[in-house]
Structure 1
């Protein structure tokens, strides 16, 4: 059996970062949204040993997928699998590619060995791998609290929406971005009552906020930075509007660009068998 597993990117429509707590971590309040930029994850069961192969990007030998596999083996007897991942989601962008890959493998494991890896086990593994991983088990749109692992699913948008993603040439280090916020004093914002994007990391990411402003001039109804950056996004009512904005972003040399749909929960959690 060969499985194709959806591994989408995410954006943060809202991201408030609180001060460090007693164990040295930052609590957050966020609204995640899955979007239609995918890594390709293919899992083949007709093998004798587990292997993980990445193409398209340099990925460390120890990574989110190998960590998820190791942790899952503590909960259930996993069959050997050959995992091939074609990376399309850029790294160090705030788009959650590595977290999404780990969640795709966890979801596939539950599909392959039903009953052995419970929903609770899957979320425990996801949380241990990384703060964004549990969201990719929920998919669609969700509110995140704690460190991002306490999730409340939200309804899918009632009308189709498209997103322009822009990844500038520069990268943002998550650790450095948090350190910059630690030097500032600001309120820990509560969840919004409107649709206006908000991201505390924009306080220290001037180059990113410049691109956010440019995307608004392309006709986006909202624009913001995702995660700790460096990727930014604009939201549009149609594919045509997003693609027209993409042409303008490319002509201005803002970075790598993608015009992709906002995903429903079902679209972001798809698993397809090829046998």
Structure 2
């Protein structure tokens, strides 16, 4: 079985407060985009995991795909599988790539072995694996809150808009990103701001990580400004970095302009 775990962007990201468990409560809109990995899972005589494409830091046994298999295998006594992950979504990039890989592993194992796991139970597994994982099981625009692991539908349709994502190759750790954050509740409700026309978002819909990270990594600010120069209606860093995206009213090929970076562009759906 082959599946294609996709990335997401954050449209707005407010860090509201620090929790007693050390995490932070946030609010954000998660929106799926078409930049994907490829994940193959096949029954096998021995359990194995391998990856290709972008190098994944850490030992293979710590990969989220393998951890996901082990989590489900403990409850469902799964046979051995061979897992191959072709990694193309950059890591530590604010795109949720690892979380998507875990969520799609849940879905693939459920389908491959006809486990009949309800969506509610799949979501419970996903929340044990990472804050963003649960979103990718539904994979539709959502208003996300708590640690980002709880969400509700949001009426937001960007179908037909063109998006360019640019990753300058920085790996920004979560700890590094949060080091410059002073949590605070936003003055205006993000859901209300996103009801406004797209062109009004520029000065209203913010990512709280930008202030501190843009001063530390000037290239991120430069990319965002250049996207506006090229005609983006809205541009922002996604997640805790380091990918910056621009949303355009019509198709524009900016790949040559950012040839030194990892890029993806296409239509939103």
TM-score class, shorter: 0.7 to 0.9
Partner of 1:37: 35
Q: Which of 206, 220, 230 is equivalent to 1:218? A: 230
Residue 159 and residue 25 in structure 1: after superposition, are their counterparts in 2 closer, same or farther (change >3 A)? Answer: closer
In the other structure, the counterpart of 1:70 is 70
User: What is the root-mean-square deviation in Å for CA atoms of aligned residues?
Assistant: 1.9
Contact kept in structure 2, 1:163 and 1:235, CA below 8 Å: yes
Within a 5 Å distance, the mapping from 1:217-256 to structure 2 comes to: 217-238=229-250, 240-241=251-252, 243=253, 245-250=254-259, 253=260, 255-256=261-262
Where relative contact order (Cα < 8 A, 6+ residues apart) is larger, the structure is: 1
- Cα distance per residue 1:71-110 (max 9 Å; x no partner): 1123323232211111100111111111111111101112
Q: In the aligned structure 2, how far is the partner of 1:146 from the partner of 1:186?
A: 14
TM-superposed CA distance for 1:228, in Å, is 0.4
Deviations 1:153-198 (A, max 9, x none): 33562641221011013321211111211xx364445324234242
- Which residue in 2 is equivalent to 1:58? 55
TM-score (norm 1): 0.85
Do 2:158 and 2:268's aligned partners in 1 also have CA atoms closer than 8 Å? no
C-alpha contact 1:138 1:153 (8 A) present in aligned 2: no
Q: How is 1:88-237 mapped onto 2 (pairs within 5 angstroms)?
A: 88-155=88-155, 157=157, 159-181=159-181, 184=182, 186-188=184-186, 190-192=189-191, 193=193, 194=196, 195=198, 196=201, 197-206=205-214, 207=218, 208-237=220-249
Q: Say if 1:50 and 1:185 are closer, same or farther in 2 by CA, change over 3 A.
A: closer
- CA offset at residue 131 of structure 1? 0.3
What CA deviation, in whole Å up to 9, does each residue of 1:108-158 have, x standing for no partner?
112123344232221111101100100110102111111111111335626
Measured in 2, the distance between the counterparts of 1:158 and 1:204 equals 29
Counterpart CA distance in 1 for 2:177 and 2:53 is 26
Deviation at residue 37 of structure 1 after TM alignment:
0.8
Aligned residues: 252
Q: Give the equivalent residue in structure 2 for 1:272.
A: none
**Residue pairs, 1:260-275, within 5 angstroms:** 260-263=266-269
TM-score normalized by the length of structure 2: 0.86
Gaps of 5+ in 1: 264-275
- Counterpart-to-counterpart distance in 1, 2:178 and 2:10: 16
**Is the deviation greater in 206-215 or in 73-82?**
73-82
Describe the SS at the equivalent of 1:10: strand
Residues 159 and 268, structure 2, Cα contact 8 Å, conserved in 1: no
Q: 1:262 to 1:5 in 2, by over 3 A?
A: same
Following superposition, the deviation at residue 260 of structure 1 comes to 2.4
